């Protein structure tokens, strides 16, 4: 498996020489300064590659995360032909530069969503957290979304009302900021009024309508990806449930099966995000990995600890509810299958995702969920599991 590391370019407080010291060699990044829907020029791609390939670092850009999809494509609004053409041109420019794995998502309006960016961990440090109570308070009392009450239990609603009643203006501002933090890049986040207006754009878009718009995207993009030798890999919804009344359509095995069947091509693939899928109480993440192994082109390895009311918190990489050794074993089995089938590049790139903020991470101001020490700890733990499983397989084969 190819050890990789997410880097936000000049927006990142972690430097490439520091990343090189973690042992990761693949860089997962994007051109975050280019607005959604605009073409990524070859010159800009090559400039970013040149930064990554600085002498004596041993790094290379191996996965794009993400090539964003313009919101109009998700809503199906207006003349989309120019947007699809520009997206295909960005793909062609990336392929011309030798970057052929593209992670993307189809989540409406927001990317990953958390309500607390610095939840205290018992042994020290902080973690990302999604509180069902705080999300209910946000939807019902701060945004005032019609029908929001229907999405929460009576107990959660009561606790949300109590939190809101006792909250300060600062508490509410922090909650809004936390929920907006998952949006990548340097672009403006929504305030409450802006979010209400944005939600109005989805008022008539239910699950079926969003699926239809996604199917159109796949029909427009996957044939081009096939021709270019690009592997598109959709990232699951995070969290894997409807929020803010917006449908989420990449949340479980049935959703993934629907996506893969829309365009039956190896280019139509999956980013196996253990944390996103693991936050769904009915998802068996290792089983999902085994079922869709052939289509997994990228993996995010992290773990979450779920709670009965629907809340969850980022756990240490080998803790939490997902059996990480079983998941990694499934990925190694797929790599072996690819090798036996004669694949040129059999390794599945993975990155340690959403680490705890530990030690000198605290106060450094890195992107939420993307500290240096916490992710390096996760990478070391994952590396140990991979080495142990690989040794056991070799010993078994030799006996």
Backbone dihedral angles phi then psi of residue 271, each to the nearest 5 degrees: -90, 110
Query: How far is Cα 295 from Cα 298, in angstroms, rounded to an integer?
Result: 9
**Residue 329 to residues 249, 324, 369, 392, 393, Cα–Cα distance (Å):** 27, 8, 25, 11, 10
Active-site residue among 237, 354, 356, 361?
354
Catalytic residue among 235, 280, 317, 356: 235
Active-site choice (70, 134, 297, 300): 300
212 C-beta neighbours (distance < 10 Å), count? 11
Q: Which of 116, 284, 353, 361 is catalytic?
A: 353
- Phi first, then psi: give them for residue 123, nearest 5 degrees: -90, 5
- Measured between alpha carbons, how far is 393 from 325 in angstroms, rounded to an integer? 13
Place of tokens 């052939």: 294
Judged by DSSP in three states, 366 sits in coil
Q: Strand runs (DSSP E) across 59-175, as ranges?
A: 60-65, 101-104, 116-120, 126-130
d(C-alpha 244, C-alpha 328), whole Å:
33
Evaluate whether 143 touches 190 at the Cβ level (below 8 Å).
Answer: no
Interatomic CA distance for residues 245 and 234, integer angstroms: 22
300 part of the active site: yes
97 given a catalytic annotation: no
Place of tokens 């996957």: 222
Catalytic annotation, pick one of 104, 151, 273, 356:
273
Q: What's the half-sphere exposure (Cβ side, CA atoms, 13 Å) at 159?
A: 12
Structure tokens at 172: 């509410």
Query: Which neighbouring-strand residues pair with 26?
Result: 4, 60
Residue 297 is a catalytic residue? no
The verdict on whether 70 is a catalytic residue reads no
Question: Which residues participate in catalysis according to the annotation?
Answer: 235, 273, 300, 353-354, 370
């Amino acid at each position: 498996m190819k050890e990789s590391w997410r880097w936000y370019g000049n927006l990142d407080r972690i430097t490439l020489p520091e990343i090189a010291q973690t042992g990761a060699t693949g860089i997962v990044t994007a051109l975050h300064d280019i607005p959604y829907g605009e073409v990524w020029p070859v010159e800009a791609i090559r400039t970013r590659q040149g930064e990554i390939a600085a002498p004596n670092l041993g790094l290379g850009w191996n996965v794009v995360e993400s090539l964003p999809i313009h919101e109009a494509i998700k809503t199906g609004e207006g003349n989309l032909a120019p947007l699809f053409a520009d997206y295909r041109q960005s793909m062609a420019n990336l392929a011309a530069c030798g970057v052929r794995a593209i992670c993307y998502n189809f989540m409406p309006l927001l990317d990953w969503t958390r309500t607390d960016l610095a939840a205290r961990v018992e042994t020290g440090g902080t973690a990302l957290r999604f509180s069902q109570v705080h999300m209910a308070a946000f939807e019902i009392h701060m945004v005032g979304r019609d029908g929001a009450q229907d999405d929460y239990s009576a107990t959660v609603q009561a606790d949300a009302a109590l939190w809101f009643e006792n909250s300060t203006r600062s508490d509410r501002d922090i909650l809004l900021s936390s929920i907006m933090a998952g949006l990548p890049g340097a672009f403006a986040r929504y305030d409450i009024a802006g979010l209400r207006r944005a939600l109005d754009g989805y008022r008539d878009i239910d699950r079926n309508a969003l699926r239809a718009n996604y199917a159109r995207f796949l029909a427009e993009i996957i044939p081009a990806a096939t021709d270019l030798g690009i592997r598109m890999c959709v990232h699951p919804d995070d969290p894997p449930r409807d929020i803010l009344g917006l449908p989420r359509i990449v949340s479980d095995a049935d959703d993934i099966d629907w996506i893969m069947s829309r365009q039956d091509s190896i280019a139509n693939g999956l980013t196996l995000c253990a944390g996103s899928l693991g936050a769904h109480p009915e998802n068996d993440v290792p089983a999902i990995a085994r079922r869709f192994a052939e289509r997994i082109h990228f993996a995010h390895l992290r773990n979450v600890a779920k709670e009965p009311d629907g809340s969850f918190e980022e756990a240490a990489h080998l803790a939490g509810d997902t059996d990480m050794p079983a998941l990694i074993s499934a990925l190694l089995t797929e790599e072996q299958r690819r090798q036996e089938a004669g694949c040129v590049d059999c390794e599945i790139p993975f990155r340690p995702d959403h680490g705890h903020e530990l030690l000198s991470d605290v106060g450094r101001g890195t992107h939420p969920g993307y500290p240096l020490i916490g992710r390096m700890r996760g990478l070391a733990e994952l590396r140990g599991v991979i080495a142990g499983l690989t040794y056991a397989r070799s010993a078994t084969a030799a006996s």
